[in-house]
Amino acid sequence: MIEISNITVRFGGIKPIDQLTATLTAPVAGLIGPNGAGKTTLLNVLSGFVKPMEGSILLAGVPLLSLSPLRRVEAGLRRSFQTEQVVEDLTVHDNLSAIADHVVPAGERARAVEAALSHVRLTDVADLLGGRLNLFQRRLVELGKCLVGQPKLILLDEPAAGLTDEEGAILRDLVLGIPAVTGAQVLVIDHDVELIRAMCSETMVLDYGKLLALGPTAEVLANDNVRRAYLGEL
């Protein structure tokens, strides 16, 4: 469970997050909103790259904001980036090992990396260099990195960006399997509303840094304010 209380972020004159209060409980929760709504900024606040001016966040009851980004990783926080961050001159296996070195005890690293590779179906290409991968494989490496160790919260920033519908469907199934396999909660940003509908039982909508709606995904997507502000309907 993520409990966000009264979070405000200021960059110069703008507030990309403005007094946001929201509690997310679903195993796979969605985060949507128009471009510039503050979605990536919220992920940056959760992962420790951006410090809010005020507010607090609890992850499974534990205060998050006083921890450094590395401490948050050690506490089970993982994230993928809107632009994937695969290291080109490391193999797929070693891209995941680099995370394991920080968060898994030495004797258990090989097994932790194998389990993560297997979940994202990259075992067969484990020895390929990052630079040889196609976009879908890169997205899977990003997801695999999030699964190494014992993640508690996985933040995915547009993990299906640039993928075909077929690839997006595979990714959706992998994401849906994460809570059962790892016990982690997932918070996912995506522009594809149908993908969000298929993945997320609960969805939060941001608009100019404010909470526009939060609740069961079907209700949120049917909400008049959401349809007007975000889906361009009504």
Ligand X SMILES: Nc1ncnc2c1ncn2[C@@H]1O[C@H](COP(=O)(O)OP(=O)(O)O)[C@@H](O)[C@H]1O
Size of the site for Mg ion (CB under 5 A): 2
Strand extents, DSSP E, 64-217: 77-80, 153-157, 185-189, 202-207, 210-216
Closest CA to 22 of 5, 10, 9: 5
Residue 103 binds ligand X (CB under 6 A) = no
Q: What is the Cα–Cα distance from 69 to 107, expressed in whole angstroms?
A: 24
Smallest separation (angstroms) from Mg ion to the CB of 40:
3
Closest CA to 93 of 124, 71, 68: 124
Partner in contact with 16, chosen from Mg ion, ligand X, none, beta carbon below 5 to 8 Å by kind: ligand X
With CB atoms as reference, the residue minimizing the distance to Mg ion is 40
Smallest separation (angstroms) from ligand X to the CB of 148:
25
Pick one of 9, 40, 48, 171: the residue that binds Mg ion (CB under 5 A).
40
Window 199-218: residues binding ligand X (CB under 6 A): none
Strand extents, DSSP E, the chain: 2-11, 14-24, 28-32, 54-59, 62-63, 77-80, 153-157, 185-189, 202-207, 210-216
Q: What is the Cα–Cα distance from 37 to 127, expressed in whole angstroms?
A: 39
Residue 83 binds ligand X (CB under 6 A) = no
Window 9-48: residues binding ligand X (CB under 6 A): 11, 14, 16, 33, 35-41
Stretch that binds Mg ion, among 34-42, 72-80, 134-142, 166-174 (CB under 5 A): 34-42
* Contact residues: ligand X, CB under 6 A: 11, 14, 16, 33, 35-41
* Contact residues: Mg ion, CB under 5 A: 39-40
